[in-house]
Amino acid sequence: MKKLAFTLAEMLITLAIVGVVAAVTMPLVINSSQNQRNAAALAVAISDWENAMAAMMSADGATDLTETALYSWMNEEQIDTDDMNNEQAKKFTGEISKYLNVNSFFVGMDKFYDDCIVKWLNGEEYNTYYIDANEEYIVLTTPKGFAYGVFIFHGSQPSPEKEEEIIEAGGSLTRSIGNIRIDVNGKSKPNTFGRDIFFFRLSTDGMLYPYGGYDESMYVSQNDERTWKNSNEGPEGQCVDFSTSYGVACTGRLVENNFKMDY
């Protein structure tokens, strides 16, 4: 007689197989969805910041961030973000808040992530690299859930000869005013470099240039050695081999790939 139905044992085995497959694939699907949401959020966060910088320069009749009231105040007071106290940070935040919707601020990224575990892309827990720099950032949070770690500096710029070399090679970043870290979902997980925390260099024209990108590499070394494809050394290294990548340079890969997180 022809068999018309599954036995109970066959059904249980089938359900078990489906369960195993679901257990394996569902986390991958969830992670992929989260990665794409974070990538899309980064595009918005960049736009919000650059629009705020453009508005600040427009209000001050400036074409360069070094000509704004904020930068002038910091110069006059001889203040740098590595030695800001709470009152100075409050004044700094108040000036930024005229152009960027800010909820709160923290003096130091270590204070912002005080109760969080932050990781490199390769899964290792955040180590001592950049720990001192953590204290140099003013962290601004926004209603959209973004956290901007802002470090403004008054350091030297490339020589005119190097600027000319950068331009001739097709680089757009020739002068920088600071570093920006963007956490697109604040203190929420995964708190991982290259997944929801991203690194940028702030140009004096208010634009953000990603670490690991061509322009940032040209600015620093006048060649493409620091790009996400080529660099293999240290936390600012490549974004190709994820078993060793720290994730900092993945910002360049993400931006250059039109905010598609394919890693």
Contact status, residue 95 vs residue 73, Cβ threshold 8 Å: yes
Whether the pLDDT of residue 188 is over 90: the answer is yes
pTM, full prediction = 0.86
What are residue 194's phi and psi, to 5 degrees?
90, -10
Measured CA to CA in angstroms, residue 104 lies from 54, 62, 97, 117 at distances of: 22, 27, 10, 21
Whether the pLDDT of residue 108 is over 50: the answer is yes
User: pLDDT band at 156, cuts 50/70/90?
Assistant: confident
pLDDT at residue 133 in the model: 56
pLDDT tens per residue, range 37-46: 999 999 999 9
Whether the pLDDT of residue 117 is over 70: the answer is yes
Single-letter amino acid, residue 213: G
Q: Which of 88-102, 116-130, 154-168 has the highest mean pLDDT?
A: 88-102
85: nearest Cα among 111, 103, 65: 111
pLDDT tens per residue, range 202-255: 999 999 999 999 999 999 999 998 999 987 767 778 999 888 889 999 999 999
Contact status, residue 59 vs residue 99, Cβ threshold 8 Å: yes
CA distance 180 to 244: 24
- CB neighbours of 63 closer than 8 A, spacing ≥ 6? 57, 205
CA distance 155 to 60: 22
User: pLDDT band at 85, cuts 50/70/90?
Assistant: confident
246: nearest Cα among 209, 194, 198: 194
pLDDT at residue 12 in the model: 65
Strands 104-107 and 176-183: what pairing?
unpaired
Q: How many residues does the chain have?
A: 263
Torsion of CA 259, 181, 244, 26, to 10 degrees: -50
pLDDT tens per residue, range 162-174: 999 999 999 999 9
CA distance 171 to 149: 25
Torsion of CA 114, 116, 121, 123, to 10 degrees: 120
Whether the pLDDT of residue 106 is over 70: the answer is yes
pLDDT at residue 3 in the model: 53
Mean pLDDT, to the nearest integer, of 129-152?
Answer: 83
Q: Which residues pair with 187 in a beta bridge?
A: none
Mean pLDDT, to the nearest integer, of 119-141?
Answer: 77
181: nearest Cα among 191, 172, 189, 190: 191
CB atoms under 10 Å from CB of 2, counted, come to 3
Contact status, residue 166 vs residue 218, Cβ threshold 8 Å: yes
Helix, coil or strand: residue 105 = strand
User: pLDDT band at 129, cuts 50/70/90?
Assistant: very low
Find the radius of gyration of the CA atoms of the chain: 22
